[in-house]
Amino acid sequence: MLVIGHRGASVAAHENTVAAFRLADEMGADGVELDVRLAPDHRLLVKHDALPRDAAALDVLPTLDAVLEACGEMLVNVEIKNTAGEPDHDPSGEVVALTVAALRRHGGTERWIISSFDWDTIQRCRRAAPDIATAFLVTEATADAIERTVAAGHRALHPWEPSLTGELVERCHAVGLAVNTWTCNDPVRISELAAIGVDGICTDVPDVALGALGRGPASVTAQWGRPA
């Protein structure tokens, strides 16, 4: 099971910062998850919540390019925050085009997976970059969500951890979907998720997760992908 630092090592360092992502790498995580938003000046900034309106406050946020550079060879899950009704919502698709361009600047396709709760956004990603893995984020992996995700050609479903069962993981694997879940910090539950076949887990404490799994640092062969 992949261990993915949720916004980096976000208990030991401030979330969604270069320091948090570097620390996750030092801890031995397979990868990290980050949130990206489109700023009014068309920069991609890494932040979970809606962007501040003050320009000076925007300038202290890391750019996607800076974070990707800091991530070295780790796997990276870029979650595009693009929710209708929020001030930085982008209906035009610019956030998708800029995200794909940034990933291509940093080389290869196998290290990246793009996810979003917004169906239109993740569909745009799939069309813009069919060679980059994409995933639909959901609070619950309903039959409809599984069917839509498979039919659209996305590689993975990213359901909320409390909704996960072994039966659900089996259903996803049976139709070729990998299952990466968010967010779990409890070592007992982490072990349970590994036992039921979850492919990847987002955690604020990658060092704790690695310990729960009895694992050392990340494998150089770790990759996003469909389950075997």
Domains in the chain: ranges and CATH = 2-212 (3.20.20.190)
Helix ranges (DSSP H) in 53-142 = 55-59, 64-70, 94-105, 119-128
Least confident of 10-19, 57-66, 119-128, 218-227: 218-227
Length of the chain: 228
Instruction: Give the chain's mean pLDDT.
Output: 94
Q: The pTM is what? A: 0.95
pLDDT of residue 219: 57
pLDDT at position 110 over 60: yes
pLDDT of residue 216: 74
Over the stretch 145-161, which tens digit does the pLDDT of each residue have?
999 999 999 999 999 99
Q: What percent of the chain has pLDDT over 70?
A: 96
pLDDT of residue 55: 77
**Beta strand extents in the chain (DSSP E only):** 2-6, 31-38, 44-46, 75-80, 112-116, 133-138, 156-159, 178-181, 200-203
pLDDT at position 39 over 50: yes
